[in-house]
Structure 1
Amino acid sequence: MVSPVDAAIGDFIDAGASFITFHPEATNHIDRSLQLIKNGGCKAGLVFNPATSLEYCKNVKDKLDIILLMSVNPGFGGQAFIPATLDKAREARKFIDDNGLDCRLEIDGGVKVDNIKEVAEAGVDMMVAGSAILKEPRTIEAYKETIDAMRAELAQVGN
């Protein structure tokens, strides 16, 4: 997390970013920061730590292209998924749908083969899986096996 975020937004735009997300705590002016991103031609979004309220979305919903929920406390890989994030995902999905937003819902942290289906069923449409895929042995075959297993779980959603 970069704070204050506004100073770094231009650097990410210049580097060719398509999406820029930030934690609401990283700025004093959420609306202004989102508008800087949008003015730079990028999609904009907010990132929520497990204990951060989704209330920050309410007054800037017209500027949100993505809501990213952290399902671990950021800082290092390999942490266990925080189950309460599923309730937060359902709340975020309801907010997106009730307001007719063209907004993606993403989750990052602890997503694995054994919980990815439940995450998708909570309304999440983008998942970040780091250590679940990049585990030992670090081979293309092992990565493919995990990704294939995740895709098989996701194929069951809605069936």
Structure 2
Amino acid sequence: MAVQISPSILSADFSRLADEATRVEGIADWLHVDVMDNHFVPNLTLGLPIVESLLKATSLPIDCHLMIESPDRWAPSYAEAGAGSVTIHAEAAKAPVRTLRAIRSAGARSGFALNPATPIDYYEDLLPEIDMLLVMTVEPGFGGQKFLDVVLPKLARARALIEKHGGEVWLQVDGGVSAETIERCAEAGADVFVAGSAVYGAHDAAQAVRDLRALAAGAQQS
């Protein structure tokens, strides 16, 4: 499992997002964009126009995480705009199979996210429709939260189910990922790591990405 790091601009300076993307360009694998609507989660961030602008400003593929109501309606638009990956939440999607297929048809990788309390086993049959499974290790809505160790067994269970089905599904973890927690996530089976404060709160964001990658890769090999 190759380690991939996806810095979250939720922790970046919103007044200079293009410059913030440049700080990790050529080092990170993705740029993670949290779209929040103040309905599905109690926070309001940014939407499709900002994603479209970022796509013009960076060579990094955009990893869109939709924490919104009605993702079935909006998700395909992010894929059509050029996002490389679009993730919808199990708790919000009404027609997940149709929406995941629409994301793929529009040219993006299909992502499926689970909140900390949402069991993975309920969605095992959806794995063939998913390119990336996202396990949240905080309650979605705000950056800078404390990592929830209680979710690690579910992360390991998700990896076991992916291996059981033999699919090429990436396993992403998001929430409180830092130098102190990333090794535990890698050991549990994650291979794509969203990091906000750990990257954009560092003096040298690019070096922070390198350090996180090294820690995760080392944990995978141990």
Same fold (TM over 0.5): yes
SS in 2 for 1:21: strand
**d(CA) in 2 for partners of 1:91 and 1:127?**
17
2:132 to 66, 77, 95: 66
Q: 1:144 offset after TM fit, Å?
A: 4.1
Over 3 Å counting, the alpha-carbon distance change for 1:72 and 1:100 in structure 2 is same
**d(CA) in 2 for partners of 1:50 and 1:40?**
29
Question: Is 1:125 the counterpart of 2:209 in the alignment?
Answer: no
Residue type of the partner of 1:150?
L
List gaps (5 residues or longer) in structure 1.
none
Q: 1:145 offset after TM fit, Å?
A: 4.5
Q: 1:7 offset after TM fit, Å?
A: 1.4
Q: Which has the higher contact order (CA 8 A, sep 6+)?
A: 2
Question: Is 1:139 the counterpart of 2:139 in the alignment?
Answer: no
Q: 1:123 offset after TM fit, Å?
A: 0.6
Please, what TM-score do these two structures have when normalized by structure 1?
0.89
SS in 2 for 1:44: strand
Question: Is 1:45 the counterpart of 2:111 in the alignment?
Answer: yes
Greater percentage in strand: 2
Question: In the alignment, what sits opposite 2:97?
Answer: 31
**d(CA) in 1 for partners of 2:159 and 2:113?**
14
- What is the aligned length? 155
**d(CA) in 1 for partners of 2:81 and 2:187?**
35
Question: In the alignment, what sits opposite 2:81?
Answer: 15
SS in 2 for 1:22: strand
Q: 1:84 offset after TM fit, Å?
A: 1.4
Amino-acid identity (%): 35
Q: 1:100 offset after TM fit, Å?
A: 0.4
**d(CA) in 2 for partners of 1:144 and 1:60?**
35
Over 3 Å counting, the alpha-carbon distance change for 1:113 and 1:13 in structure 2 is same
Residue type of the partner of 2:192?
M
**d(CA) in 2 for partners of 1:155 and 1:13?**
30
**d(CA) in 1 for partners of 2:76 and 2:98?**
13
Q: 1:59 offset after TM fit, Å?
A: 2.2
Write the deviation string for residues 71-93 of structure 1: whole angstroms up to 9, x where unpaired.
00011111000001211110000
List gaps (5 residues or longer) in structure 2.
1-66
Residue type of the partner of 1:44?
S
**d(CA) in 2 for partners of 1:83 and 1:5?**
28
CA contact (8 A) 1:24 1:56 kept: no
Please, what TM-score do these two structures have when normalized by structure 2?
0.65
Question: In the alignment, what sits opposite 1:104?
Answer: 170
**d(CA) in 1 for partners of 2:195 and 2:154?**
19
User: Alignment RMSD, CA only?
Assistant: 1.6
Residue type of the partner of 2:203?
T
Task: Say which is worse superposed, 2-11 or 111-120, in terms of deviation.
Answer: 2-11
Over 3 Å counting, the alpha-carbon distance change for 1:115 and 1:37 in structure 2 is same
SS in 1 for 2:198: coil
